A and B are shown apart, each in its own frame.
Chain A
Amino acid sequence: MSDQGALIARNRNIHPVPYDPGYKTSVPRSPNWALVSMESTASEEFGPRFGHNKLGLYDNNLILNFTRGKAPAVGERILVHGRVVDENNRPVANTLVEVWQANAGGRYRHKKDGYLAPLDPNFGGCGRTLTDENGYYEFLTIRPGAYPWPNRGNDWRPMHIHVSVFGSGFGQRLITQMYFEGDPLINHCPIVATIKDRSQIDRLVAPLDFSKSKPLDFLAYKFDIVLRGRRQTMFENKLEGM
């Protein structure tokens, strides 16, 4: 994939609104001023690369990576898989995908999480992998539980996995959350509801995928990701000094 080419401008309408009183923490953390827009430059069009030599054997297996293969985590065993493509539907190859999540009971292994559901001694909750040449990635994990959070009087997050993706340019950087088909909490969550277009919310809900599930072992969910694409034109000046 090419490092060249201006990034297609972000369509901010598909993204969440920055200020949403339903999600209370966004109230003091959202800018009042408009963003300053400009065509992308080399600073946004180039981005970091990570080689396979940085990754370990169990990095994309959250069932085993906390104990380095010694003992499996408790919970519903699932494969999460999908493709990373850009807006031109080209695969984003060899890009870093990172995930983090709570355990089967909804508890995070983080010094700031004090929820009374217990930690699983065999579950850490993070994974990472590189997409292959077709933009494909997969993780083996356990399905995270829902958990309560201090927002309105009785708010609960749906089951979700946080996903971070790089792309080929720093301006493509994206963090999102994957939800699970059929979870009734999706329709009650103020963080989900920061996205105002229902059809865009649906794009974050991973369907059950029997084609990838392994009998007597794990179920599968599919989660495809689209990053910003690059403008393709025959009438482009070359980057100065490139």
Chain B
Amino acid sequence: MVQSLDTLQETPSQTAGPYVHIGMIQAHAGMENYYDEELGISPIEEGAKGEVIEITGSVYDGTGWALRDALIESWQPDAMGKFSTQEGADPKVHGYCRFAADSETGEFTLRTIKPGRVGTRHGVMQAPHISLWIVARGINVGLQTRIYFEDEDNSEDLLLSKIEQTPRVQTLIAKKTGEGKYRFDIRLQGENETVFLDI
């Protein structure tokens, strides 16, 4: 035998289930005004510095069917690359948002500002990105991924350069569809499967 470690183990995950909206987006479950204030409705307030952008997309399963019950959370820094708890961060950018796929169409929309670049421990700047966390019925552990932008220089990015199969990088890059508008589809399984992360 050996000495025991001082560390604990993380609590195991379980699926968020089909009724996740009751706990996290009450209005979407059909319960308006449950709380005085729902959390995470928008990552920005009026007057946030930077370019306002709108990202739309769907989450597709392995058959190509868009999930109608997915819930997504996003997290990002302000236009200067500072997160909301850091000194000097834009007070109009909270950086956090939670949104659901439409229960009829499966489409989601995230309205935010384009994030700035954030550094790494190794002194490399990361390309602008928004972190996502996806939960739903049938997803046993929440899936982490990132949105990058096709009109940014992504060539030096630490994460993107770690993806061995270069064609898969494209699954993390939002495509520009108009002024300030992007499309970002998430494919859980199969052809063009989105890169999911363990970080």
Q: Footprint of B on A, CB under 8 Å?
A: 3, 6-12, 14-18, 20, 23, 25-33, 35-44, 46-50, 54, 56, 59, 65-66, 85-89, 96, 98-100, 108-113, 124-126, 128, 162, 164, 170-171, 173-177, 191-192, 194-195, 200-201, 203-204, 225-229, 236-242
Q: Is B106 at the interface (CB under 8 A from chain A)?
A: no
Interchain nearest-CB distance for A70 vs B (Å): 14
A-B interface, 6 closest residue pairs, ranked by CB to CB distance from nearest: A100-B23, A25-B138, A240-B119, A48-B96, A29-B138, A16-B140
Q: Given A26-B138, A41-B126, A88-B6, is A174 in contact with B22 using a C-beta cutoff of 8 Å? A: no
Contact between chains at B197 and A35 (CB < 8 Å): yes
With A173-B73, A225-B11 given, is the CB distance from A241 to B137 under 8 Å? no
Q: State whether the Cβ of B135 lies closer than 8 Å to any Cβ in chain A.
A: yes
Are A162 and B75 in contact, CB atoms less than 8 angstroms apart? Answer: no
B21 touches A42 (CB 8 A): no
Q: Determine the main DSSP class of B at the interface with A.
A: loop
Q: Are B188 and A30 in contact, CB atoms less than 8 angstroms apart?
A: yes
A162, B13: Cβ atoms under 8 Å?
Answer: no
**Which residues 73-104 of B have a CB within 8 angstroms of A?**
73, 75-77, 81, 83-86, 94-96, 103
Chain B residues positioned under 8 Å from A124 (CB to CB):
22, 31, 34
Query: Contact at A41–B23, with CB atoms within 8 Å?
Result: no
Q: Which residues of A contact B63 (CB under 8 A)?
A: 28
User: Shortest distance in angstroms between B106's beta carbon and chain A's nearest beta carbon?
Assistant: 13
Contact flag A48-B95 (CB < 8 Å), given A3-B85, A36-B162, A191-B14: yes
User: Shortest CB–CB separation between residue A176 and chain B, in angstroms?
Assistant: 5
Contacts of A20 in B (CB 8 A): 140
Instruction: Evaluate whether A15 and B13 lie within 8 angstroms (CB atoms) in the complex, with A23-B138, A28-B189 already known.
Output: yes
If A29-B138, A33-B168, A239-B121 are given as contacts, then 7 extra A-B residue pairs at C-beta distance below 8 Å, sorted by A number, are: A7-B199, A36-B195, A41-B118, A109-B30, A162-B16, A177-B14, A238-B121
State how many residues of chain B have any CB contact under 8 Å with chain A. 86
- Whether B121 contacts A237 by the Cβ 8 Å rule is yes
**Which B22-52 residues have C-beta < 8 A from chain A?**
22-24, 26, 29-31, 34-37, 39-40
CA distance in complex: A226, B10 (Å): 5
Contact B103 A174 (CB under 8 A): no
B198 pairs with A10, CB closer than 8 A: yes
Chain A residues near B133 (CB-CB < 8 A): 170, 173
Give chain B's interface residues, CB within 8 Å of chain A.
6-24, 26, 29-31, 34-37, 39-40, 61-63, 65, 67, 69, 73, 75-77, 81, 83-86, 94-96, 103, 118-126, 129, 131, 133, 135-144, 146, 158-159, 162-163, 168, 188-190, 193-199
| Inter-subunit contact A241/B118 (CB<8 Å) | yes
Asked whether, in the complex, the Cβ of B9 is within 8 Å of the Cβ of A14, the reply is yes
**Are B126 and A35 interface neighbours, CB within 8 A?**
no
Contact of B143 among A25, A31, A200 (CB under 8 A): A31
CB distance from A50 to the nearest CB of B (A): 6
From the candidates A87, A109, A128, name the one contacting B31 in the complex (CB within 8 A): A109
Q: Which residues of B contact A44 (CB under 8 A)?
A: 131, 144, 199
Q: Which residue of chain B lies nearest to A111 when distances are taken between CB atoms in the complex?
A: B30
Question: B141 contacts which chain A residues (CB < 8 A)?
Answer: 12, 15-16, 18
Contact A226 B8 (CB under 8 A): yes
A126 engages B122 (CB within 8 Å): no
Among A32, A47, A87, point to the contact of B7 (Cβ < 8 A): A87
Chain A residues, CB < 8 A from B168:
33
**Which of A18, A38, A194 meets B159, CB within 8 Å?**
A38
- Identify which of B35, B63, B123 gathers the most chain A CB atoms within 10 Å of its CB: B35
Q: How far is the CB of A34 from chain B (nearest CB, A)?
A: 9
A-B contact pairs, 22 of them (CB 8 A): A15-B12, A27-B62, A33-B195, A42-B119, A43-B146, A47-B75, A54-B37, A56-B37, A86-B8, A88-B6, A88-B7, A100-B24, A110-B22, A110-B30, A124-B31, A126-B23, A162-B17, A162-B19, A164-B23, A170-B75, A176-B14, A240-B123
